[in-house]
Amino acid sequence: MATSRPDGRTALVTGGSRGIGKAVSLRLAREGVLVAVHYGHDDEAAQATVKEIEAGGGRALAVRAELGVPGDADAVWDGFDRGLVALGAEPGVDIVVNNAGITLPRHLADVTEEDYDRVFAVNTRAPFFVLQRALPRLRDGGRIVNISSAASRVAYPPLVAYAMSKGALDTLTLALAAQLGPRGITVNTVAPGFTDTGINPTLADPQIRRALAAASVFDRLGTPADIADAVAFLAGGDGRWITGHWLDATGGVRLGH
Amino acid sequence: MTPTPRALSPAGRPTGWFPLPVSGLDRLAEDAVAVTLAVPEPLAGAFAHQAGQHVVVRHRQGGTEIRRSYSVCPPPFARDRLRLVVRRASPDGFGAYALGGLAVGDRLDVSPPAGSFRLEAAPGAHHVLVAGGTGIAPLLAMAAAALGDDPGCRVSLLYASRDAAGVLLAEELADLKDAHLGRLAVLHVLSRERREADLLSGRIDRDRLWRLLAPLGADVGGTTVFYLCGPWGLVEVAREALAQAGASPRQVRVELFSAEGVPPAPEPPPHRGGVRISARIGGRTSAAQMLPGDRVLLDALLRTRPDTPYSCRVGLCGSCRARVVDGAAAMGSQFALDAAEVAAGFTLACRARATTGRIGLDFDA
């Protein structure tokens, strides 16, 4: 009796409808991966991303679930499971990209308790439980990529709480990499630097743009595609021997000074 | 690289895949070949088996993984080797590969022998074997084992083939008969060939079965055990006939080797998900979860434990047999487990769904 599974893999990209997440969704879809584009509330952006993937001959579905609220991880996976059934796709997932995040551009003195809880709820708590519930869905040989930030490794006081939430995520990468190794699953972090996306409203100011671009040895801001290509490497077959790694994808920010 | 026995499970039945070298290929008929596999010394323990058991062969072809189970029928003068009888007409193409592409020296991925189709431990019994087609493979092994191990037993074999050219291993049967004069009776029935005796031509139905069995002295009395192996049609005819004649379930052993002819069982509808599964396989316990779209427990298990043993996926071969140790399962139609195994809590992961919110399975039991 023959048994077979379609060659294509399935991915979940949280916050996959805009910015870096959108670039990751498009990139994975180009490689034939069925992409579940998770989003919080922007139906239009999510539908546009799904349509763009389909127009390129790929397969995608949109999963709406607000992160940072009780039950968020279950809502994500319920939507994911239902979406696969609706597409007639096989249950289960091969790639999870924890990309969704919010920033908190405040110094220590200005962070409120609500601010603090909120940034940890979205950036740390949500990926933790998304991954917890991913485990029975993840097929052996799968891939997990957590999107962190250069701010978790270099001092950046204007984003202190944000940086702390990403530092916790980095620690999750390490622990899970050790736990999931026997199943052939790799777990890695990709840390962008200054990237040209909507999460950084200050980038609208040309002076700030110039200053942040100058932080990279390439003298430009990162693009979402720069990050997506790094994610795709770790998410693909070529990344099989790399796990527990924190991949600097900042374009050489603070190299040597 | 040959795995060492350390790769085997610390407890319970051995699992895993072992690349065994093909040491012989013998064409048995136009459309059937006997594939003999050498078992390296370190694996002798893992591949020790009882007559009637089968192995699963894993083969990759065009990006697809094929798994097929074959009964072990050791060659008469090298009982430590595995010999498998492969017919070309397998629907997935493995048979065509075995008859065409496979060469001596190639390796085949094989799982250790398993299965509960075995000789009844009944000294002095009359073993009555009903074989159809390649169903002769396990029954020949069982006949040889019974005659060799129990000088007080008697064996009768009813062997149905399409025509004279399709009779497999006829010479070995004749040799076995000569070696145990008076204790082995063999009757060949040819379904598509006319012979002088009408009784020995044409399909076997219930009436013909009894007229064939009577002269062999095969009745449902105390010391007779029946072993049926072949296509579904033959096995069902024989099973019903024996049941009607009053044979107890313990007296009838069955092994189906092909889904061909089996009335299609209704496919279980997609599961709504949520059931938590804990499974011990090869000494290691893992968690899994039924998701919407999964149909049976095996679907969920293969995500987190691709080494879960399985082969046919339609409830025939018994490779995915496991004992339910927590919660409960409901099983669709299946042909691998007997009533005693079901009563002892065994199920088939390829046919079972949990009826409780959590379920524990032990594949090593």
Over residues B86-112, the pLDDT tens digits come to 998 876 788 999 999 899 999 999 999
Amino acid at A103: T
Verify whether the Cβ–Cβ distance A85 to B314 is below 8 Å: no
Q: What is the pLDDT of residue A129?
A: 98
Mean pLDDT of B229-242: 90
Strands B107-110 and B82-87: unpaired
Q: Write down the pLDDT at residue B9.
A: 41
**Token digits of residue B47:** 């591949």
Cα distances (angstroms) measured from residue B92 to each of B60, B96, B300? 11, 9, 24
> How confident is the model over B73-94, as a mean pLDDT?
86
Give the separation between CA A185 and CA A152, rounded to whole angstroms.
Answer: 24
Pairs across A and B, CB distance < 8 A: 72
> Would the pLDDT of B263 be above 90?
no
Cβ-Cβ contacts under 8 Å, B92 against chain A: 1-2
pLDDT above 60 for B159: yes
Other beta carbons within 10 angstroms of residue B192's beta carbon come to: 12
Residue B255 contacts A, CB cutoff 8 Å: no
Categorize the per-residue pLDDT at B122 as very low, low, confident or very high, splitting at 50, 70 and 90: confident
Angle formed at CA A83 by CA A78 and CA A84, multiple of 5 degrees: 105
Give the chain A residue nearest B56 (alpha carbons). Answer: A1
- What's residue B259's pLDDT? 66
pLDDT at B8 over 50: no
* Residue A234 domain-assigned (yes or no): yes
Question: Which pair of structure tokens corresponds to residue A26?
Answer: 């498009």
Burial status of residue A88 (CB atoms within 10 A of its CB: 0-12, 13-18, 19 or more): exposed
Q: Which helix (H) or strand (E) holds A80?
A: helix A72-87
> What is d(CA B100, CA B61) in angstroms, rounded to the nearest whole number?
14
Q: Is B261 left (phi over 0), alpha (psi -120 to 50) or beta?
A: left
Residue A248 CA: distances (Å) to CA of A176, A190, A192, A238, A251: 19, 6, 7, 18, 8
**Three-class HEC string of chain B:** CCCCHHHCCCCCCCCCCEEEEEEEEEEEECCEEEEEECCCHHHCCCCCCCCCCEEEEEEEECCEEEEEEEECCCCCCCCCCEEEEEECCCCCCHHHHHHHCCCCCCEEEECCCECCCCCCCCCCCEEEEEEEHHHHHHHHHHHHHHHHHCCCCEEEEEEEECCHHHCCCHHHHHHHHHHCCCCEEEEEEECCCCCCCHHHECCCCHHHHHHHHHHHCCCCCCCEEEEEEECHHHHHHHHHHHHHCCCCHHHEEEEECCCCCCCCCCCCCCCCCCCEEEEEECCEEEEEECCCCCCCHHHHHHHHCCCCCCCCCCCCCCCCEEEEEECCEEECCCCCCCHHHHHCCEEECCCEEECCCEEEEECCC
Task: Give dist(CA B214, CA B211) in Å, integer.
Answer: 5
pLDDT 10s digits, B314-361: 888 889 999 999 999 999 888 889 888 999 999 999 999 999 999 999
CB contact under 8 A, B292 and A84: yes
Distance CA A145, CA A165 (A): 16
Residue B7 has pLDDT above 70, yes or no: no
CA distance B2 to A5: 27
For residue B214, what pLDDT is reported? 86
- Record: contact A1-B68, CB cut-off 8 A: yes
* Nearest C-alpha neighbor of B156 from the set B224, B239, B92, B100: B224
Amino acid at A145: V
**Strands of A93-98's sheet in order across:** A60-64, A34-39, A10-13, A93-98, A138-147, A186-192, A246-249
User: pLDDT class for B1, splitting at 50, 70, 90?
Assistant: very low
In a domain, residue A1? The reply is no
Which of B93, B292, B299 lies nearest to residue A85, judging by beta carbons? B292
Residues of B in contact with A96 (CB under 8 A): none
Predicted ipTM of the assembly? 0.72
Considering its fold, how many domains does chain A have in total? 1
Catalogue all structural domains in chain B, each as residue range(s) with its CATH number.
5-110 (2.40.30.10), 126-256 (3.40.50.80), 276-362 (3.10.20.30)
Domain that holds residue A157: 10-248
Report yes or no on A65 lying in a domain.
yes
Global pTM value? 0.76
For residue A18, tell me if it sits in a domain: yes
Mean per-residue pLDDT of chain B: 88
Judge whether A2 lies within some domain. no
Residue A48 belongs to a domain = yes
Q: With respect to residue A34, please indicate whether it lies within any of the assigned structural domains.
A: yes
| Structure-token pair, residue B84 | 């498998």
Active-site annotation holds for A216: no
What gap in Å lies between CA B319 and CA B310, rounded to an integer? 5
Determine contact: B259 vs chain A, CB below 8 A: yes
Of B197, B30, B18, nearest to B107 by C-alpha is B18
Burial of B205 (0-12, 13-18, 19+ CB in 10 A): exposed
Distance (Å, whole) CA B129 – CA B156: 6
Query: Residue A198, class by beta-carbon neighbours within 10 Å (0-12 exposed, 13-18 middle, 19+ buried)?
Result: exposed
Burial of B338 (0-12, 13-18, 19+ CB in 10 A): middle
Chain A contact for B137, CB < 8 A? no
Helix axes B136-149, B170-179, angle to 10 degrees: 10
Collect all residues of chain B within an 8 Å Cβ-Cβ radius of residue A134. none
pLDDT at A203: 85
Provide the pLDDT confidence category of residue B13 given band limits of 50, 70 and 90: low
Nearest Cα of chain B lies from the Cα of A91 at a distance, in angstroms, of 6
Residue A233 DSSP SS3 = helix
**Tell me, what's the pLDDT at B107?**
95
Residues B64, A82: C-beta atoms closer than 8 Å: no
For B29-42, write each residue's pLDDT tens digit. 999 999 999 999 99
What CATH number corresponds to the domain at position A161? Answer: 3.40.50.720
Active-site residue A166, yes or no?
Answer: yes
Q: What is the CA radius of gyration of chain A?
A: 18
Contact A82 B270 (CB under 8 A): no
Residue B6 is predicted with a pLDDT of 36
pLDDT digits (tens, 9 = 90+) for B35-67: 999 999 999 989 999 999 999 999 988 778 888
pLDDT averaged per 10 residues in sequence order, chain A, 257 residues: 51 97 97 97 96 96 97 97 93 97 95 98 98 95 97 94 98 98 96 89 88 94 97 96 98 85
Which among B65, B273, B292 has CB closest to A3? B65
Q: How far apart are CA B313 and CA B67, in angstroms?
A: 10
> Distance between CA B175 and CA B8 in Å, rounded?
37
Q: Which amino acid is at A256?
A: G
Q: Do the domain assignments include residue A4? A: no
